[in-house]
Amino acid sequence: MRTRSGLMRRVGDLAFQALGIIVTLAALLALATLIYDVAHDGLGRISWQFLTSYPSRRPESAGILGPLVGSLFVIGLTAAIAVPAGVAAAIYLEEYARRTFVSRVIEINIANLAGVPSIIYGLLGLGLFVRAMGMGRSVLAGAATLALLVLPMVIISTREALRAVPPSLREGSYALGATRWQTMWHQVLPAALPGILTGLILALSRAMGETAPLITIGALTYVGFVPDGIWSPFTVLPIQIFNWVSRPQAAFAVNAAAGILVLLVLLLALNAVAIILRDRYQKRLA
Amino acid sequence: MSRRIRLWIEFAIERLLFVCAATSILVTAGIIAVLVFETYEFLREVPVREFLFGTVWTPLFADAHFGVAPLVGGTLLVSAIAMAVALPAGLITAIYLSEYAPSGVRRVVKPVLELLAGVPTVVYGYFALLFVTPLLQRVVPGLAGFNALSPGIVMGIMILPLVSSLSEDALHAVPTGLREGAYALGATRMQTALRVVVPAAFSGISAACILAASRAIGETMIVAIAAGQQPRLTLDPRVPVETMTAYIVQVSLGDTPSGTLAYRTIFAVGMLLFVSTFILNLISNWLRERFREEYA
């Protein structure tokens, strides 16, 4: 071998490994910086008053009660729409559908829908729910829009959870004379439940952080009340954060940072539940 | 329960489940219907040639021009910056995690990186506007408060886990036999990774990159917050630009009455956005299918 000495090659290999470690660390550092920056700016602003006040023109007396309740309300309703529809669709595609042209088209369609930008769902919600169906800029219109947005995610993750259930469970149930649905309802779904829940929570936490589609359907940016029903106008936490970031005064930026902290804590709590469920699931399978 | 009733219920349940699955087709149909309808109304008043090839975008001014090029240019500029960050960093991370890192490191780092993808985009917008831009202003002369550079970099950080995670999956799926063959010929790990494993996973990696591009084009809040709202056809990353998505947000926040021509522009712009991301997603899916078949 006259091309390159073994030493040179080993140095190149080590350098490349070092580069890999550096880049990976840099990505992790970016995450840490982001969290540190937000916490540094906003932590001092978090107080009971901040959580229980309505927005205000004076930054120091403004709070997030309306957006906070709005977010929880909209996500609850989103779950009520998207979860049954998404899980049912996943059960059909994974357990019932034969390999026909129609089921193939539905599958490709779902994969594509998962990649459609969220703001396009906002335009759909605006044209379909707000205007054509006359829902106005209501909680229901917002939840319906977000439900369509998370539907592909719910279907894809539920299918994966169903696929992880061993076929022997189904065969045993059929052997005992159970029908298809009895097998699904009493055997497969309970076994897949933790996996399904994990996927659902991840999809809903994505919905909770969404801003663009709700701005597009015309959710308010200034709400001095708590939404009192599905026809009520509303705003959500990310929109309030966006509203505060867009203002020039520094004091509102502090409010935005505090709002982000509340949003991140909510998301973290949701994801912690998902991780705990996943852990329990993996132990049971092992 | 008699057997007949039970069979009937089974049938009804299957139909019901099918209807739920078919709903997804209706969602796509709804998106296309809404966009096509409003875009058609828009194009009845604005010639398609002016829309696609005009270079001035002032639909909200008295002297209205409807050339979408500045919005497309802004979108491409920010996305290009994002890809310039996410592709090299994501690929190197993927190669490191798949070929070098001990499995313990991989198990910890991968989910932590995916946290980056779970952060709401409005948070990245805050980060870009109030942390990254001031930081960059110290090193980049003439950087405006709103610019394409800072949201581009932050967007790159956001889509990095998409690139690294999907590429890593592709690298991981390459059969070990190929690596062992390379090692047997005396190749180092780097040579094996770059000359054997990466080429073998090429279609999977390209699928990841194209999906990332599609995500960058459709990303909204980071640019709406940190890139400004000035449609401008430029390659200068230091000045404010407006993307297609940021324009839709701008109009949605304003008090443009619905049914007007200015209002219809958001659907026309949305149509363009939908078609471009849709094509990218189709290509990405096709590449991924092909990759799966290669190593099935």
Please state the domain extents for chain A: 6-40, 65-249+270-285
Which pLDDT score, from 0 to 100, does residue B36 have? Answer: 94
Q: Distance from first CA to last CA of chain A, Å, rounded?
A: 50
Q: Please name the residue of chain A whose CA is at the shortest distance from the CA of residue B275.
A: A116
Q: Both B24 and B82 in a single domain? A: no
pLDDT in tens, B13-65: 999 999 998 888 999 999 999 999 999 999 998 888 888 888 888 888 888 88
Give the residue with greater pLDDT, B123 vs A65: B123
Query: Which range marks the domain in which residue B284 is found?
Result: 69-294
For A107-127, b/e burial (b = at least 16 CB within 10 A) is: bebbbbbbbbbbbbbbbbbbb
pLDDT band (50, 70, 90) for residue A283: low
Q: Both B41 and B128 in a single domain? A: no
Nearest to B34 among A37, A123, A211 (CB): A123
Q: Sign of the C-alpha dihedral, residues A90, A94, A95, A101?
A: positive
**Mean of pLDDT values over B176-187:** 92
Q: Is the pLDDT of residue A266 over 80?
A: yes
Which pLDDT score, from 0 to 100, does residue A285 have? Answer: 55
**Mean of pLDDT values over A265-273:** 87
Identity at A65, one-letter amino acid code: L
Which A residues 220-239 touch B at CB under 8 Å?
221, 238
CATH number of the structural domain spanning residue B119: 1.10.3720.10
Nearest to B225 among A17, A209, A246 (CB): A246
User: What residue has token string 């430029």?
Assistant: B234
Q: Both B94 and B136 in a single domain? A: yes
**CB–CB of B122 and A238 under 8 A?**
yes
Nearest to B96 among A21, A28, A109 (CB): A21
**CB proximity B292 to A under 8 Å:** no
Q: Both B102 and B241 in a single domain? A: yes
Within a domain: B287: yes
Q: Could you report the predicted ipTM of this complex, rounded to two decimals?
A: 0.91
Q: Both B79 and B134 in a single domain? A: yes
Q: d(Cα B35, Cα A116) in Å, to the nearest integer?
A: 13
Indicate the number of domains in chain B: 2
Q: Please name the residue of chain A whose CA is at the shortest distance from the CA of residue B118.
A: A206
* Least reliable range by pLDDT among A221-225, A238-242, B172-176: A221-225
**Mean of pLDDT values over A23-33:** 90
**CB proximity A270 to B under 8 Å:** no
**Mean of pLDDT values over A62-79:** 91
Within a domain: B60: no
Which pLDDT score, from 0 to 100, does residue A1 have? Answer: 45
Q: Both B144 and B40 in a single domain? A: no
> How close does chain A come to B190, measured CA to CA in Å?
5
Which pLDDT score, from 0 to 100, does residue A257 have? Answer: 93
Chain B residues inside the 8 Å CB shell of A142: none
Q: Is residue B272 within 8 Å of B244, Cβ to Cβ?
A: yes
Q: Both B18 and B96 in a single domain? A: no
> How close does chain B come to A272, measured CA to CA in Å?
12
Which of B7, B17, B100, B267 would you mutate first to test chain A, the one with the most A CBs within 10 A?
Answer: B17
Which pLDDT score, from 0 to 100, does residue A281 have? Answer: 66
Q: Both B24 and B108 in a single domain? A: no
Chain B residues inside the 8 Å CB shell of A5: none
Within a domain: B56: no
* Least reliable range by pLDDT among A10-14, A126-130, A255-259: A10-14
**CB–CB of A23 and B220 under 8 A?**
no
Q: Is the pLDDT of residue B1 over 80?
A: no
Which pLDDT score, from 0 to 100, does residue A195 have? Answer: 86
**CB–CB of A17 and B96 under 8 A?**
yes
Which B residues 46-65 touch A at CB under 8 Å?
none
At the topology level, CATH places domain A65-249+270-285 in MetI-like fold (1.10.3720)
**CB–CB of B273 and A181 under 8 A?**
no
**CB-neighbour burial class of residue B44 (10 A; exposed 0-12, middle 13-18, buried 19+):** exposed
Which of B5, B41, B114, B252 would you mutate first to test chain A, the one with the most A CBs within 10 A?
Answer: B252
Q: Is the pLDDT of residue A213 over 60?
A: yes
Nearest to B273 among A120, A126, A206 (CB): A120
Which pLDDT score, from 0 to 100, does residue A242 have? Answer: 93
pLDDT band (50, 70, 90) for residue B258: confident
List beta partners, residue A138.
A233
Q: How far is CA B133 from CA A180, A183, A261, B93, B120, in A?
A: 58, 57, 21, 25, 19
Chain A residues inside the 8 Å CB shell of B24: 89, 106, 109-110, 113, 151-152, 155
Q: Is the pLDDT of residue A225 over 80?
A: no
Within a domain: B57: no
**CB proximity A264 to B under 8 Å:** yes
Within a domain: B50: no
